[in-house]
Amino acid sequence: MKSGVFKRTALVAALASVGFAAHADGNLPFNFYALLDGGVTSTKINGGGVATNGTTTEFNTGNLAPNFFGITASKKVDGLEAGYKLEEGFLLSDASTNTSAFGPTGPSNKLFNRQANLFVAGDFGKFSLGTVTDSVFDGLLATDPLNTSYGSAVQGILGTGGGSIVTGALRYDTAKYNGFSASVTYKTSTSGATNGSNNGSTGTGTRISALYQANGLTASLGHWLDNGTGTASTATTYNITTGVATPNVATNAITGQADSGSYGGLAYSFGKLTVNGNYMRVTQNETLQESTGSLNVTGLGGSYAIDSKSNIGIAFHTYKDGGTLNGTNVSAVAALYTYEFIPGMKAYGLLTSLKDSSTGTSAFGYYTGGNSNAGALLANQTAQIMSIGLQYGFF
């Protein structure tokens, strides 16, 4: 038996005990929290005449949100607060091919792979240093109709290699004023990166975002920029006939060029009804395999609170390539029903229908659900995804 497994299990148990104690005694300066999501996903793929056609039903984790636990602690003195936050992502299954749109959730040899930062906060706002959440991604979640791994703007970031965290970062969040807040993040150079990009330091990046929440209106704007590591990589081409992904040595790319994106979203609540709209443009040199490639994501949708426990939502999104090579054109319609039968515990059903009308030889790598079906939805294919499961949040 591996002693590391027992040590890790013991750590989780210890943190859980601390969390319950913290909730029992509000005077303690630390808190444990967790979110778990798991269910069964059935994916049916048709069209394209490839081997991936057919139906797969299997256990899946992260349909609506990633799985994680965390601990945060702080002390307050004379209006100044200082502390730390540690958060670990994990899977409810042992399938290494399973993933989530919300950041690292798979097996990792790094403890606290989602957040690990120190912070100082006060009337001036909040400074954080370390591994932090991506403020642009936070804004996306605030205005997206469903916030699910399928059929949402989140999929646009996942399909282009993005994520929900920023490592080695310095982040500043303003205090909230009349419903308005803003955030600026600077990402330091990655380990092993070489100089030579247009700003003199590869692997660096920035995040700028703004959020307004008041009087039933939520509005978010954000822009991110990442400089590549300056290393060569081999692009991948999907063969529409065989469904096989193969390296294309003719399209090697140097990732020293900047990859960037912008996002804007609106949500407005009319009592029990909330309507949403969002737009995102992602420029991803290497992933889209073209020097000026881009992906445009447009979404509309909304949700309705049937009662205090039940909620239903629907969203329509399109993912279109703004470049000249891939010709990506994917549409998605998704419907979500949730029922909170015990405080913190929700049962859910998620239906998603996808259609890939891409004209190029390389389709957008849409994650189609399930462990063995993870990968690209190829041109001229359709997919129907049905997920049912449970989600429990302890905060």
In terms of Cα–Cα distance, which of 157, 182, 376, 367 is closest to 280?
157
pTM recorded for the entire structure: 0.78
Distance of CA 295 to the CA centre of its chain: 16
Give backbone dihedrals phi and psi of 8, rounded to 5 degrees, phi first: -65, -40
Between the CA of residue 13 and those of 3, 9, 272, 303, what are the distances in Å?
15, 6, 39, 37
What does the alpha-carbon distance between residue 159 and residue 333 come to, in Å, rounded to a whole number? Answer: 17
Terminal C-alpha separation, the chain: 33
What does the alpha-carbon distance between residue 63 and residue 142 come to, in Å, rounded to a whole number? Answer: 18
Q: CB count, 10 Å around CB of 46?
A: 13
Instruction: Spell out the per-residue pLDDT of the chain, length 395, in tens.
Output: 344 434 444 444 444 444 444 444 445 567 999 999 999 988 888 876 665 677 888 888 878 888 889 999 999 999 899 999 999 888 787 544 444 434 443 334 467 888 999 999 999 999 999 999 999 888 888 999 888 877 888 777 665 656 688 888 999 999 999 999 999 999 987 544 343 333 445 578 899 999 999 999 999 999 988 876 544 444 443 333 333 333 333 333 334 445 788 999 999 999 999 999 999 988 765 444 444 467 889 999 999 999 999 999 999 999 887 665 567 788 999 999 999 999 999 999 999 998 888 776 544 555 444 444 445 677 788 888 899 999 999 98
